[in-house]
Chains A and B, each alone.
Chain A
Amino acid sequence: MAYNEHDHLLVIFPHPDDEAFSSAGTIIEHATNRGPVTYACLTLGEMGRNMGRPVFTNREQLATIRKRELIAAAEKMQITDLQMWGLRDKTVEFEDEAALAERIGQLIEKTRPTRVISFYPGYAVHPDHEATARAVVRALRAIDEADRPEFLAVAFANNTKDELGEGTFIHDVSAYTDQKVAALEAHASQTGGLMKVISEDSNIRDLLVKERYYHYPL
């Protein structure tokens, strides 16, 4: 597939590292072969519990650290347009959902993406993920079907495979595994001991070679 300025991928997640775990391979592949990538990251993940291993930051510095990590990770993933919306970690579900959907709608209108990646409502585990997913779905539903970008939804709740299956779109990203690991490592405060996790957790190993997206009925 040839690179096309108009083949735009829009990624919307609430926390720095959501994009890397779920989608680094797909993002890098898109940025390399298809077109530009915009990432709207709704919070700075500043309420995270991990302070590095060993501890190298604190609650107040974590925002700065994660902001820098996000910028570095975005560079590794060749994300050309990184937007930090500045909501507070843990509070997305308490924001006005209609207003958030409106803002996402405006971003879609501006970037005219061919594909949107975000979470799958009901299977996204973290309340910020769920709130983001609902707002994205709401924004997409407000667009005429003919103009709507493709929606690739990330689901990882424990009941996902039982209830939704293996995935509607399973991207083989094994060609980008090294770059994905580099993007994950850029989120150092959250991924300290990554190699140990990779060796112990088969789900993470699977994520390094396959990125699974589900069709969500809009």
Chain B
Amino acid sequence: MQTLDLKVVQQYIDDHANTPLYVHVETTNGAYATHQDPTFHSAGMFFRNAEITYERGLITGNGPYRIGLKLAHGWLYGEGLTDYEFAGDQLLIAGHDIEGRLAIAFELSPTPFAQGAEEVE
């Protein structure tokens, strides 16, 4: 991945407005956060291959960055974003902490993201 480039990511967002897309969104503290520190309240979620269509979207901030996609009936929002990468026609955005561990993933794709061992090379 490389450091997030607002202009390049915004172009992808604009190009895919009003187009059905699959999303993978996720936040995580790591599976062992509470094991390592019992006072730490670990919370996270992921949503894989939800289908969305947004009418407008914006990536913004001074870094780490925020993204908001305006949906017909609501919003899809993420913050703490630091890096991006294109994988074919997929846009992969991530936020890594200072040690390089994933804190948030926010990914868009015209086709479903891979599932299960057989779909993985």
Are A47 and B46 CB-contacts (below 8 A) given A125-B32, A126-B32?
yes
B73 at the interface (CB under 8 A from A): no
* A contacts, CB < 8 Å to B: 44, 46-55, 58-61, 63-64, 67, 84-88, 90, 125-126, 157-158
Which residues from B are CB-within-8-Å of A44?
Answer: 117, 120
The A interface is mostly helix, strand or loop, or mixed, namely: loop
Give which listed residue, B24, B31, B87, B113, contacts A49 with CB less than 8 A: B31
Which residues from A are CB-within-8-Å of B90?
Answer: 60
Which residues from A are CB-within-8-Å of B96?
Answer: 51, 55
A172 to B46, CA, bound (A): 40
Complex contact B35–A59 (CB within 8 A): no
Looking at the assembled complex, report how far the CB atom of A96 sits from the nearest CB atom of chain B, in whole angstroms: 16
* B contacts, CB < 8 Å to A: 1, 24, 26, 28-32, 35, 38, 46, 48, 83, 85, 87, 90, 92, 94, 96, 99-103, 105, 107, 113-118, 120-121
Looking at the assembled complex, report how far the CB atom of A83 sits from the nearest CB atom of chain B, in whole angstroms: 9
A59 to B107, CA, bound (A): 9
A60 to B83, CA, bound (A): 14
Which residues from B are CB-within-8-Å of A58?
Answer: 1, 85, 87, 92, 94, 105
A167 to B59, CA, bound (A): 53
- 20 more A-B residue pairs beyond the given contacts A49-B29, A59-B107, with a C-beta to C-beta distance below 8 A: A48-B31, A49-B28, A50-B101, A51-B94, A53-B99, A53-B100, A55-B83, A58-B87, A58-B105, A59-B26, A59-B92, A60-B87, A60-B92, A60-B107, A60-B114, A64-B121, A86-B118, A90-B31, A126-B31, A157-B35
